[in-house]
Structure 1
């Protein structure tokens, strides 16, 4: 059994269908450092060389965890270079995060990135709690084990069932709760996923998702996977901002990089809990029945189901992401 102190403990299914380690790309939004300084610190601690691509875009090439992109996280960075655009970028730096985007990483790479996280903290990086308008997040892009339904549907259903508990046991920053970028799934989607079941066909799940969650802005964004599987089927809800790729786009976590007790591993634990739940047919069944019982008649507050869900996960030894026993 994996120790609860093991950093970036393996997922229940750690390899792809081809027998290769499942990789995870990471996106970190932060403040307190401009993109040039941030890129230089990345290169100092991970090796490699920095290269300025544009006013607001840097790259760190050939680091020991691969290439990193470091840029101001705004659509303005894609605009044609003008004096007005550059002035807007300068003003925007007060509230727009710098984003670090990694190549897909194995466990050693994630550990090295978490070491960089600590160095950035020491050099002045700030996270969601650093300002009233700092709704900064961390996104984990976790590679799917295969393109088969059994690798995709159970984690989606598991997340939908335990999302209220994830948000209650380890609440995200108030600003990110108000902003629409990591919204909770609507109960209609959860109900439909339960009805379809853990063994549902991908096409049925994709249709339900397109109808009930037609946006990237959820704590778990499934559009990249579904666009990669069948872009034509999902065309009505896809935009140019959707990058088709075979990864779960886990957008829920805050970036709390200025908190010395916070680590990337703590957010990895949240996703690992999703997959641990998904791996147990019995737990998914119990949670599905419990969710339906809690949502009969007058809708109850999400906190009610979060408490009941947490009790089930604790009893099953699956409350690791909430700070309980592993």
Structure 2
């Protein structure tokens, strides 16, 4: 089975709506009302997230909404992003407040199954500055994943831009797996995937999975100047032979973790030339190509890009990337 398993659209929507209802009943989330002022604040949280991740300026939307809209909105949405009413897409995603101990502490949006498939997709995850550092986001994700599985969904996924490094590291720290990077880094918890274990030092790194409480070694990486050393264990080769989800997602997950620590991603000139081939999907060279493109696009819009420097990448301007 793939991400969505063999279920129809109506069944997926029924399951995901049940997930929403369960989380509301638990007191983990609160539906966003149609009230104009409440909706405005929710949109201001979206804008504050953009400002924080694109310019590294923390602006409290509850206290400085007018400043966000007047000063930051024109800069933060130069890429054409439209911050319209969160109610407009209710057929595909539903907006909520994050709730902790009865208080609204941030925002979250959950897919309804209209487009996103059987996995519960989480977006617009934002914690108000006054409630940071208390595990709000991680607790919300774990509760959402638990509710999804309890109602028959295979798990959840989130997407984050590569340049949003705090988010990338946060999701990897929760042992999420990287499922792709077509438009952004997509991460997932999914039924059947074990927890992974990543250890990264200055010159070497390892990737494995935790099975029955023990780490099963799969991949080893090393810095070789501007080249990436990459060795697969016999167990990883066995996973590839089985065409398991671990075999498909382990290289991608390890590659993103390495990139976040400034490791090289290109193993050889031949592999770099094949970076656009379908066979390179999920491989380090494919990520290197996307990182160069992602960062070029962000810089073209004047966003402040603060990412690890990947040895060997040229970091060309957008118009120069073939």
Q: TM-score, normalised by structure 1?
A: 0.31
Higher helix share: 1
Structure with the larger strand share: 2
Higher RCO (C-alpha under 8 Å, 6+ residues apart): 1
